[in-house]
Amino acid sequence: MATWIIVGIYFLLMLAVGVASARKANSLTAFVVGGRSAGPWVSAFTYGATYFSAVIFIGYAGRSGWDFGLWALAIGLGNALFGAFLAWAVLAERTREVTRRLKIKTMPQFFETRFFSKGMKIYAAVIIFIFMTPYSASVYSGLSYLCEKVLNVDYHMAMLGIAVVAAIYLVVGGYVASLQADFIQGVVMLIGVAAMVFFILRSGSVGGIANGVAMVYDKMVDSGLTSFSWQTVIGVVSLVLLTSFGSWGMPQMIHKYYCIADKRSVKAGTVISTIFCAVIAVSAYFIGSLTRLFFNEVPKVNGAVNYDVMVPNILVGTLPEILLGVVLVLVLSASVSTLSGITLTSCSAIAIDLLKETFVKSMSKKTTLWVTRLLCLLFIATSYLIASLKSPILMLMAFSWGSVAGAFLAPFLLSLYWKGLNRAGAWAGMITGPLLCTVLAVSSGFKSANSAVYGVISIAASFLACFIGSKLSKKLSAEEQTAKEHFYNKEYTLQTAEPTNV
């Protein structure tokens, strides 16, 4: 009963945030980028809350902890150092400056503005919508496995409840609601992960941190994991690269930089985001590394090995009911914030870049706002249907990240720092990455074992394609040259209704 009460309070709070934010989300700019006024704490917490979802606690932590033992902690450290600190240091200010100055609201708009290509904008919008859908489905799956164990709620009913809550507060309040909700959810995540680690360490199967680490090490010796074989090296390194650097090209993560208020917020946000991500990621993978203390073999569901049920089973067996409710809300918070970020990014790209600015140019901003809201509902429903198939979480996550990051990471990062990148090079990178990731995934039968490796290969191939395409292409057209000059000229400001003060 206590668990249900805590979850009920969380749902009501999220709905209240959505309703309270409705008045502020009455324009397209406010709905999509929240007025570009987010301070350091809100920016950092919304970045971290979007970065981590049920996938890290249920999918990645359980599978990685079982496969790599204590070596899995390297993934969490990599997320903090490369996915948070280095990402903010390299991307945040440059992205904030150029997107504010040129009134860019979406990733497809970024590429159109830099390379003067409507075709690239349409392509980017389609890639986002297609490949972000399975990522969103992985979020549903992770949450539903936990709800099924903790609340004894049917998997599909749990997903439906999550979808309804996310849809209401996002569709009503937009990015304004998302910012406020993510800050609250970030606080819940920190409290919840601390409680989770504390009680798992106190359980009889672990017996404290020193004893637990020693026993895990012994299990690693027995399983041959201490030798750090090439298989382990490739597995850990690929996960560090994909989950840390892959985030640099994920539209919902880049979107957080668009909305930062000023340079001071960037500096403070870098520190806050790094600490937040270190606490969440290291704690999650540490819990995952303890799985061998609770299981002698990977549990089976309907006769098939299923890594995704390990952490939920551990939580149910170690936490008191009231804290089980807190931890459930922790995973709900992480997942709903990620889900809202993915949904808003995907649907704004379709509504603004594909419909309004390409096919229905006469569409008013008010109509575009309502179309965006309707697309959010459609996207959430589609993700729900995919998740209902119960595909492995790790496979869904890695395939989505590999494809999207393969399409955008190289051209986006190079656009910020290399004037030599041209339209042909960007096209080469944006096509090569997702195409290669899809081919590798299909050829392997969508097996999750190598999905992270495929993602890393796709990102590397995209960088190579960008360089080769730029070197082999012809001289820039007058329009592309002008767009390039405007992009890098900090004195040039696009004169539209949106404010430009920094």
Q: Are strands 300-301 and 304-305 parallel, antiparallel or unpaired?
A: antiparallel
By mean pLDDT, which of 12-26, 251-265, 315-329, 475-489 is the weakest? 12-26
Residue 395 within a domain: no
Query: What confidence score (pLDDT) does residue 27 get?
Result: 65
Three-state secondary structure call for residue 271: helix
Query: Tens digit of pLDDT for each residue in 64-104?
Result: 888 899 999 999 999 999 999 999 999 999 999 999 999 88
Highest mean pLDDT out of 107-111, 398-402, 414-418:
414-418
Query: What confidence score (pLDDT) does residue 1 get?
Result: 66
Q: What is the mean pLDDT of residues 191-208?
A: 89
Of the two residues 16 and 88, the one the predictor is more confident about is 88
The domain that contains 290 carries what CATH number?
1.20.1730.10
pLDDT band at residue 465, thresholds of 50, 70 and 90? very high
By mean pLDDT, which of 109-113, 152-156, 308-312 is the weakest? 152-156
Residue 216 near residue 206 (C-beta atoms within 8 A)? no
By mean pLDDT, which of 50-59, 301-310, 386-395 is the weakest? 386-395
At residue 499, does pLDDT exceed 50?
no
Share the mean pLDDT of the chain. 83
At residue 226, does pLDDT exceed 60?
yes
Query: What confidence score (pLDDT) does residue 29 get?
Result: 65
Residue 487 within a domain: no
Residue 248 within a domain: yes
Tell me how far apart the alpha carbons of residues 75 and 242 are, in angstroms, rounded to a whole number. Answer: 10
By mean pLDDT, which of 59-63, 169-173, 306-310, 453-457 is the weakest? 169-173
At residue 197, does pLDDT exceed 70?
yes
Question: Where does residue 489 fall: left (phi above 0), alpha (psi -120 to 50 degrees), or beta otherwise?
Answer: beta
Question: What is the domain count for the chain?
Answer: 1
Q: What are phi and psi of 364, to 5 degrees?
A: -75, 165
Q: What is the mean pLDDT of residues 194-199?
A: 89
Indicate the pTM of the whole model.
Answer: 0.85
At residue 501, does pLDDT exceed 50?
no
Q: What is the mean pLDDT of residues 484-491?
A: 92
By CB atoms closer than 10 A (0-12, 13-18, 19+), residue 227 is exposed
Residue 315 within a domain: yes
Provide the angle, in degrees to the nearest 10, between the axes of the packed helices 321-348 and 155-202. Answer: 130
Query: What confidence score (pLDDT) does residue 62 get?
Result: 82
Question: Where does residue 304 fall: left (phi above 0), alpha (psi -120 to 50 degrees), or beta otherwise?
Answer: beta
Query: What confidence score (pLDDT) does residue 396 get?
Result: 60
Query: What confidence score (pLDDT) does residue 325 get?
Result: 77
Of the two residues 500 and 418, the one the predictor is more confident about is 418
Give the amino acid at 499.
P
For 405-436, b/e burial (b = at least 16 CB within 10 A) is bbbbbbbbbbbbeeeebbbbbbbbbbbbbbbb
Residue 416 within a domain: no
Query: What confidence score (pLDDT) does residue 126 get?
Result: 86
Residue 41 within a domain: yes
Query: What confidence score (pLDDT) does residue 365 get?
Result: 76
Query: What confidence score (pLDDT) does residue 500 get?
Result: 40
Residue 419 within a domain: no
Look up the domain containing 330 and give its range: 2-390
Query: Tens digit of pLDDT for each residue in 392-414?
Result: 555 566 677 788 999 999 999 99
Q: How many CB atoms lie within 10 A of CB 100?
A: 24
Query: What confidence score (pLDDT) does residue 141 get?
Result: 66
Query: Tens digit of pLDDT for each residue in 262-293?
Result: 899 999 999 999 999 999 999 999 999 999 99
Question: Where does residue 390 fall: left (phi above 0), alpha (psi -120 to 50 degrees), or beta otherwise?
Answer: left
Query: What confidence score (pLDDT) does residue 175 get?
Result: 63
Residue 172 near residue 22 (C-beta atoms within 8 A)? yes
Query: What confidence score (pLDDT) does residue 398 get?
Result: 63
Q: What is the mean pLDDT of residues 156-167?
A: 74
Residue 426 within a domain: no
Tell me how far apart the alpha carbons of residues 297 and 285 are, in angstroms, rounded to a whole number. Answer: 18
Tell me how far apart the alpha carbons of residues 157 and 401 are, in angstroms, rounded to a whole number. Answer: 27
Query: What confidence score (pLDDT) does residue 24 get?
Result: 66
Tell me how far apart the alpha carbons of residues 308 and 145 are, in angstroms, rounded to a whole number. Answer: 7
Tell me how far apart the alpha carbons of residues 208 and 206 are, in angstroms, rounded to a whole number. Answer: 6
pLDDT band at residue 173, thresholds of 50, 70 and 90? low
Query: Tens digit of pLDDT for each residue in 236-261?
Result: 998 899 889 988 998 888 988 988 98
By mean pLDDT, which of 220-229, 247-256, 444-453 is the weakest? 444-453
Query: What confidence score (pLDDT) does residue 12 get?
Result: 80
Residue 259 near residue 33 (C-beta atoms within 8 A)? yes
